[in-house]
Amino acid sequence: MMITQKNLITILVVSGLFISLLVNISIAQTKQKPLTSNSQLSPIDINNATVSDLTKLPGIGDKMANRIVDYRNKNGNFKTIEEIMNVKGINEKKYQRIKDYIIVKKTQAPK
Average the pLDDT over 88-109 and give the result.
Answer: 89
What per-residue confidence (pLDDT) applies to 1?
Answer: 63
What per-residue confidence (pLDDT) applies to 35?
Answer: 45
Rounded to 5 degrees, what angle do the CA atoms 74, 75, 81 make?
A: 125
- Using CB atoms within 10 Å of the CB of residue 87, give its burial: 0 to 12 exposed, 13 to 18 middle, 19+ buried: buried
List the domain boundaries for the chain: 5-31, 38-103
Neighbours of 108 (CB within 10 A): 6
Compute the distance between CA of residue 79 and CA of residue 100 in angstroms, rounded to an integer: 16
- Cβ atoms of residues 109 and 52 within 8 Å: no
State in words which class domain 38-103 has: mainly alpha
Average predicted confidence (pLDDT) for the chain = 84
